[in-house]
Structure 1
Amino acid sequence: MIRLGLEVFLKSNVSLIEGKKVGLLTNQTGVDNELNSIIDLFYNNPRIKLTAIFAPEHGIRNEHQAGVGFQSYVDKRYNIPVFSLYIPSVKYVSLTSRNLDKRMRLGVSSVGKSPTSKMMEAIDVLVFDIQDVGTRVYTHIWTMALCMRICAKKGVSFIVLDRPNPINGVTMEGFVLKYPKNSSFIGLY
């Protein structure tokens, strides 16, 4: 049986975050083998002080449409802040299949895809647990990269809870991105 990073972490590594203010960057894919949400598992664990949830594109429960930004809020179930890492911008162009790429190329910082300094004040460590699909255009990997940048600048620990690649985790195909010329939120590097 495959042991997910979440399960290994809860069994053997909780001490890494014990006594710290913990932020969690996740969505509906952050579950264990019994489909228990990482949010529930962290929130209900007496050794973990969950102080903030960071929401990527689509939100923590996949409640938002692709490419549509959303605001931060306080989660009613947990009574903790959910910080949007997909905040709408006045620079957005209308969402159509023809201009989605243009919209994504407006710039990473202009569309609120990185945590702010204020958001970072709520945490000592940020834990990432999102299933990736192994393609460059899947935005969650780029959200992770931007959060890693901010954590490094702020001296905040960053922990990745790994999940198996659904494609195969070995084969690399496709074009190499010309960086930074063609860099966008659907292909940062």
Structure 2
Amino acid sequence: MAPVLGVIVGSVRAGRVGPKVARWFVRHAEADGRFDVRVLDLADVVLPLDLSGGDGPDAVAAWAGECDAFVLVTPEYNHGYPASLKLALDSVKHEWRGKPVGFVSYGGMAGGVRAVEQLRQVVAELHMVSVRDAVSFVRVKRAFDADGATPDEVAPDAADRMLGQLATWAGR
């Protein structure tokens, strides 16, 4: 049985590019074959506004508990990551612990790398293991064609390296 890779689409903004980026990565990860890939789009989840009680929303906790590794698909907004992604990470505690996490980021000229660097600090505090390699799309609005393919020759190689590291940390 293949380990489960949870892919989280972190942006909830109207007109967001995240689902297109996530679909590209999910197709790539499924073709790789090392993981059973599941997607959680935060736009489809009701996240709590009050984090003072409990371990978070049942939907996120249950989904996170089923996963052996994670990939966070995140834009970079104002040199940071979206509040929705932070809220999802903060709302579930124990399900993240000891799990490896990778990043697929996108944005303008920086491609989301500043958001990822901040997220590495957050996931470390949650006792997750962030893998070194990540996928980054600069000028994301030009990075994909109408079919969701990308001419970016670096992205598939980076995704392969990241999936290999996630598989190693997931114990597979």
Could you say which TM-score interval applies, normalised by the shorter chain?
0.3 to 0.5
Q: TM-score, normalised by structure 1?
A: 0.34
